[in-house]
């Protein structure tokens, strides 16, 4: 009887921890928060656009949030993405765009223009600089509220000034918290979204469709999010989540070597997560 019991338990132990190219990785069971895999999980690294998970989380946490509120796109947002050669949602100056649309523009094409618009809208202060600073303060407070000690934001989009960092463990916890919001969940699992905005003259503009930069949505069964990131310092990052057979596995890889490699790393970790989640 003892031997049979040991054999029955064996499959759960059979999965071998995978080797990933990314410099950092972390995976947990989303419902129990049990850690399933770590690789330099608490080493601080540049996060690239995975920062935008917190941007969205802060917006969605605003009291009395109206997702249909219209925001007028300012020239400053457009100038910013051009100056930084940043990923953008190609928002058009003067157009009125809803907060909901800005969130899609933030999370699917990773629009830094959408991030700027949201920070400007939901920060407080009499100048744009003050509002942005206030919004970044809210991002840092949210990290502190989650008990994260290895995370710091100095930007609303990941284009930091040398003081924007997190860890695989912390980013996974931020994403897990954000995924409790139904609007966030809906957005990050969307592959394509077409926004209809209102132009200066009051007509309707149909924007070019935004495509989600998270390739796992198309090539890993059960994927439900979350966000890509990249940059000269960050390299290639991916915060990922998938649900299979009622189990949700969530995790992060930081500083992988290419888009294809971060996806390969994430798939290995998801497979391992599902095999070891029990």
pLDDT digits (tens, 9 = 90+) for 42-90: 999 999 999 999 999 999 999 999 999 999 999 999 999 999 999 999 9
Given a contact cutoff of 8 angstroms between Cβ atoms, the answer to whether 59 and 118 are in contact is: yes
Catalytic: 110?
yes
Distance CA 174, CA 146 (A): 8
pLDDT, averaged across the chain: 95
Selecting among 110, 155, 177, 256, the annotated active-site residue is 110
Q: What is the percentage of the chain residues whose pLDDT exceeds 90?
A: 93
Closest to 53 (Cα-Cα) out of 202, 227, 195 = 227
Distance CA 67, CA 52 (A): 17
Catalytic: 19?
no
Q: Where does residue 186 rank: exposed (0-12), middle (13-18), buried (19+ CB within 10 A)?
A: middle
Q: Residue 24's Cα: distance from chain center in Å?
A: 16
End-to-end CA distance of the chain: 22
Provide the 8-state DSSP code for 50. G
Selecting among 39, 52, 173, 235, the annotated active-site residue is 52
**3-class DSSP state for residue 235?**
strand
Three-state SS annotation for 188-256: HCCCEECCEEECCCCCEEECCCEECCCCHHHHCCCEEEEEEEEECCCEEEEEEEEEECCEEEEEEEEEE
pTM of the predicted protein model: 0.94
Sheet holding 35-39, edge to edge: 35-39, 24-29, 247-256, 235-244, 223-231
Q: Is the dihedral of CA 254, 257, 259, 265 positive or negative?
A: negative
Selecting among 49, 87, 166, 176, the annotated active-site residue is 49
The vertex-43 CA angle with 173 and 213, nearest 5°, equals: 55
Closest to 266 (Cα-Cα) out of 191, 157, 140, 175 = 175
- Which residues are within 8 A (CB) of 12 and not within 5 positions of it... i.e. 6 or more apart? 275, 276, 278
Helical axes 128-145 vs 112-122, angle rounded to 10°: 90
Catalytic: 49?
yes
* C-beta neighbour count of 131 within 10 angstroms: 17
* pLDDT higher at 189 or 13: 189
pLDDT over 80 (residue 9):
no
Given a contact cutoff of 8 angstroms between Cβ atoms, the answer to whether 77 and 111 are in contact is: no
Of 4-13, 30-39, 46-55, 144-153, the one with minimum mean pLDDT is 4-13
Distance CA 47, CA 226 (A): 14
pLDDT for 201-214, tens place per residue? 999 999 999 999 99
Closest to 173 (Cα-Cα) out of 40, 44, 33 = 33
Distance CA 251, CA 37 (A): 9
Helical axes 128-145 vs 52-60, angle rounded to 10°: 90
pLDDT band at 274 (very low <50, low <70, confident <90, very high): very high
């Amino acid at each position: 009887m003892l031997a049979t019991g040991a054999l029955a338990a064996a499959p759960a132990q059979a999965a071998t921890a995978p080797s990933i190219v990314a410099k950092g990785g972390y995976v947990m069971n989303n419902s129990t928060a049990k850690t399933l895999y770590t690789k330099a999980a608490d080493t601080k690294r540049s996060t690239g656009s995975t920062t935008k998970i917190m941007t969205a989380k802060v917006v969605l946490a605003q009291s009395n949030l109206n997702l249909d509120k219209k925001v007028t796109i300012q020239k400053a947002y457009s100038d910013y993405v051009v100056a930084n050669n940043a990923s953008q949602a190609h928002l058009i100056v003067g157009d009125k765009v809803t907060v909901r649309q800005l969130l899609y523009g933030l999370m699917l094409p990773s629009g830094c223009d959408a991030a700027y618009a949201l920070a400007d809208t939901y920060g407080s202060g009499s100048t744009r600089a003050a509002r942005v600073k206030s919004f970044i303060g809210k991002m840092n407070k949210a990290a502190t509220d989650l008990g994260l000690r290895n995370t710091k934001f100095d930007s609303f989009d990941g284009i930091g000034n040398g003081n924007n960092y997190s860890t695989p463990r912390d980013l996974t916890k931020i994403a897990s918290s954000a995924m409790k919001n139904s609007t966030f969940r809906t957005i990050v699992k969307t592959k394509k979204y077409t926004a209809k905005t209102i132009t200066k003259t009051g007509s309707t503009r149909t924007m070019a469709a935004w495509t989600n930069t998270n390739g796992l949505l198309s090539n890993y069964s059960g994927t439900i999010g979350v966000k890509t990131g990249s940059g000269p310092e960050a390299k290639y990052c991916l915060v990922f989540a998938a649900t299979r057979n009622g189990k949700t596995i969530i995790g992060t890889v930081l500083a992988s070597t290419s888009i294809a490699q971060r996806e390969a790393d994430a798939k290995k970790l998801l497979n391992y997560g599902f095999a070891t989640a029990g």
